[in-house]
């Protein structure tokens, strides 16, 4: 605990900043992830995905607004701001309005335990990973509220599909994370990073320290695609079957908040897999003789750089798969979860336990 407190010097100092007795520092700490989500969603999330998808499908993508279409995202924001905020006459107005809010809160609260470097983490909880995967699941309530409150059969079908998908895939995802917790002997996300430090760079990461680790790593990555409704698991919003699924009736800023929550969840699950298996904010570069690459690329600023870059890498993979693979059917999706991923997750759990107890 002492080591953790000394590492979180920036966030601790900021939290104690009380001008005129007001907790301004705590407000800033809470606002930082919100600013990060907004900036990343508008740049890499929206504009980047359009350009990446256009490149993969041999198209141009946005080109008209600004040089290389750089201002297209701003134009989209202005368009959304001008759109009328429509609520159906027969909708459950309370559920319809709070649905997008719950979705975003579930994604945003998880950032409280995400270490953005050796010197900055909102709250270094002893059960950090457990809290993160638990609070992200809150979005299930938001999706169900949005689908039911819309009073639209397509929205309700999409919501039920999404809830069934997320709840099902949480089981193999949680078991895969437990494998990482067994390797670390802790649930603190900051401690995960500390245990993967070393001058050997990426060779100190859990993915390369345990011969079984690749299996829970792969299982969690596949399950995280389903939990964020990304292709090939995007049947909740399947536009060719359900128009747009649970957010069919949403327009304007409510529609934007739903997508902001999706991009927030994409980064959060990418950060979790990076922290648990790939060293989190640790540098992947090793020291080679007198060339101290690891030492030169370690520190608070470098830590934030590495965790964000690792998160962006997995988001790129998510985008790549979206524009490459066809959508699964419902029966194929459930078969993959219950008859493939879940049994293999249990196998990985047992093998990891055997390795950690008898072989390590």
pLDDT tens digits, residue range 184-214?
999 999 899 999 998 888 999 999 988 999 9
Neighbouring CB atoms inside 10 A of 147's CB total 30
Q: Is the pLDDT of residue 108 over 90?
A: no
Average pLDDT estimate for 10-35:
81
Question: How much of the chain exceeds pLDDT 90, in percent?
Answer: 28
Q: Is the pLDDT of residue 2 over 50?
A: no
Average pLDDT estimate for 126-139:
87
Q: Compute CA distances 284 → 4, 115, 206, whole Å.
A: 22, 17, 12
CA–CA separation, 299 vs 292, rounded Å? 14
Model pLDDT, residue 6:
60
Model pLDDT, residue 241:
67
Nearest residue to 110 via CA among 27, 7, 34: 34
Contact between residue 161 and residue 250 where contact means Cβ atoms under 8 Å apart: no
Could you tell me which residue, 129 or 1, shows the higher pLDDT?
129
Q: Is the pLDDT of residue 5 over 60?
A: no
Contact between residue 294 and residue 283 where contact means Cβ atoms under 8 Å apart: yes
- Candidate from 7-11, 146-150, 280-284 with smallest mean pLDDT: 7-11
Nearest residue to 116 via CA among 20, 27, 37, 234: 37
**Model confidence, pTM:** 0.89
Q: What DSSP state is assigned to residue 181?
A: H
Q: Compute CA distances 16 → 27, 47, 163, whole Å.
A: 11, 37, 40
Question: How much of the chain exceeds pLDDT 70, in percent?
Answer: 97
Model pLDDT, residue 44:
81
Positive or negative, the CA dihedral 201, 207, 208, 209 is positive
């Amino acid at each position: 605990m002492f080591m953790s407190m000394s590492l979180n010097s920036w966030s601790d100092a900021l939290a104690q900043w009380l001008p005129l007795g007001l907790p301004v520092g705590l407000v800033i700490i809470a606002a930082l992830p919100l600013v990060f989500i907004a900036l990343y969603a508008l740049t890499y999330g929206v504009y980047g995905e359009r350009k990446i998808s256009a490149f993969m499908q041999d198209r141009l993508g946005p080109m008209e607004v600004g040089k290389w279409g750089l201002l297209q995202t701003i134009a989209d924001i202005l368009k959304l701001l001008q759109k009328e905020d429509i609520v159906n006459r027969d909708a459950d107005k309370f559920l319809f309005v709070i649905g997008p809010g719950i979705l975003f809160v579930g994604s945003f609260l998880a950032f409280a335990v995400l270490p953005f470097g050796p010197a900055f983490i909102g709250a270094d909880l002893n059960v950090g990973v457990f809290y993160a995967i638990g609070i992200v699941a809150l979005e299930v309530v938001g999706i169900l509220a949005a689908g039911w409150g819309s009073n639209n059969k397509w929205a309700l079908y999409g919501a039920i599909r999404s809830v069934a998908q997320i709840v099902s895939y949480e089981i193999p995802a949680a078991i895969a994370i437990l494998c990482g917790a067994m390797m670390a002997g802790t649930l603190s996300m900051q401690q995960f990073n500390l245990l993967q430090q070393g001058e050997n760079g990426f060779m100190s990461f859990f993915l390369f320290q345990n011969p079984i680790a690749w299996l829970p790593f792969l299982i969690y990555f596949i399950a995280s695609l389903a939990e964020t409704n990304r292709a090939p698991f995007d049947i909740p919003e399947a536009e060719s079957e359900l128009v747009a699924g649970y957010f069919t009736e949403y327009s304007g800023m409510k529609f934007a908040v739903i997508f902001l929550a999706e991009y927030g969840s994409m980064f959060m699950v990418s950060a979790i897999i990076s922290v648990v298996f790939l060293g989190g904010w640790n540098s992947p570069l090793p020291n080679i003789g007198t060339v101290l690459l690891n030492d030169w690329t370690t520190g608070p600023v470098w830590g934030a750089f590495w965790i964000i870059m690792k998160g962006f890498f997995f988001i790129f993979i998510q985008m790549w798969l979206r524009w490459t693979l066809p959508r699964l059917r419902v029966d194929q999706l459930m078969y993959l979860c219950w008859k493939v991923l879940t049994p293999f997750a249990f196998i990985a759990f047992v093998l990891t336990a055997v390795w950690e107890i008898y072989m390590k």
